Structure 1
Amino acid sequence: MRWSLDQLESLIAAAEKGSFSSAARHLGKAQSAVSTAIAHLELDLGCPLFDRRCRLPRLTPAGEALVHEARAVLRQCQRLEARAASIVQGEEAHLVAAIDEALVEMPPVDETLEALAHLFPALQLTLLYGSQDDIAGWVEDGTANLGILLRQQGQGSLLEGIRIAQLQQVLVVGCEHALAQLSAPAVSDLAGHRQLMITSRPLGDTGRPLGARFWRLNSFYSMGELATRGLGWALVPQHIAHYPPFYDRLVTLDSEALGIAPVVEVETISRRDRNQGPIARWLRHTLGERFRDHRAR
């Protein structure tokens, strides 16, 4: 093996930024250094990675395949460095955990925090609550060490997620809503009323509405509140439907017409290049166990 990590970084940067000059600016290097690194990498691997006949270099089929492998190699190197730092550092004195507001008052989360307080009484803990995007942003910029959230698509390249649970969703409407009189509404029934849908900032692939009338929100609790007011129907995690302020004001309907109601995945996220100490690893593991225990009850 003659290639280097610097060469892989140059390959990835050029592929993502679209040109050698943009890659050089991103890496803080001279363009000639990036061009030379990629040329040497091509010699070492024995295949061309970029087609240079166009105004801007384009990945060849070999380049398209190998850039994914290069990312995997760098991710593993980041994990190695983070693990080494964790071993050297030992148990954390303080920890910042960011929690999705949709998980507020979720028994597995609260039980885990109670256990954390008893097992690590000297830990200085900071809890931040926010939307999915808040959590991802706080972890990515280093504000939080660990994020606990409902799974997102398209996370930043520095973030690594581990799924710890799945939450079943239920179809709900307010008690006074017209659909509340239909125990098993058809798709046509649902399409005739406003749909309340979860989304994130910025708008991404959040599913297609059934009809022309829909609102998108970035909070399941807000969806539940609007549903109680008769403003539309919604698919929400079961614990949202059972939230005490909503429970007597919502009706759960048969969602068979929609097929199997999709589950929402819960995951923890952290920066791949930052060390996770023993308390953070305990927190991640225990959360998964508590969610599994709660589901089995």
Structure 2
Amino acid sequence: MTATATARTARTAPTAPATLVIGATGTTGSRTTAHLVAAGRRVKAGSRRAAPVPGAEPVRFDWYDPTCFGDAVAGADRVYLVPPVGDPDPAAVMLPFLDRARAAGVRRAVLLSSSAITEGGPAVGQVHRALPGLFDEWAVLRPSWFMQNFTGTHAHADSIRADGVILTAAGTGRVGFVDADDIAAVAAHALTDDRAPDGDLVLTGPEALSHDDIAATLTEVTGRPVAHHRLTYEALRDRLAAAVPPEFAAMLAGMDRAIADGAEDRTTDTVLRLTGRPPRDFRTVAARELSARPAPTDAP
């Protein structure tokens, strides 16, 4: 083949379909994007400001602005769905987008939900129920509570840094906390494996821990005292309502109450089954993300 013919072939070769990652700068979206890019996949990284993401094509995406939907799904045949944060009725904005995505050629959808929310349940549970009727290939990830809630920008991490406390209404209830990178690894498999899971996947870490256990581990890893302060359901609900809509605050506080009643005291083998490696434990994740950071000071 001549150089001219080679160049012509390169110009006319079809572009590989992309995976649209919604929330590509967030906790699981950024990690899922990194897994896909490392695997050589074409990724459209959706975020409200179309922020640059290494190895991906940035694209603007805002759940509340349907005018951006067309450009976001153009050329994509699969999508990773992170629901709008803090919205008590995400189906209202997500289902119209999913209809449009299907019409544009998206054939596989992977939805981030929660272990605490079942199909048909509140909030994203309504999207979970609709997904199998919209796409032939699908999965719903239902991770337990993120380990990064204690190390990132979550309210727990903020109160730990500011006051050395974790505030919950979970009592002595135990949770199979899971590493966000393990969630992303499962998401990448669900998006790229030859056969989609076509079901919901409950994701946990290797052990169920109470918030007292979490506080003790953080104390050991950081060398800074951390304590778990137990609140009532009402006190937590009112505290959360200062930052999120009241109905969403009530739902979140209710999840803590369910933890106290044992709803999250379980572990699963999902991470191992889909990725081929065991999930990371909390001590490992805390050491990875916190031990290298300088301790906060009391200086303004």
How high is the TM-score relative to the length of structure 1? 0.24
User: Which of the pair is proportionally richer in strand?
Assistant: 1
TM normalised by structure 2 equals: 0.24
Larger radius of gyration: 1
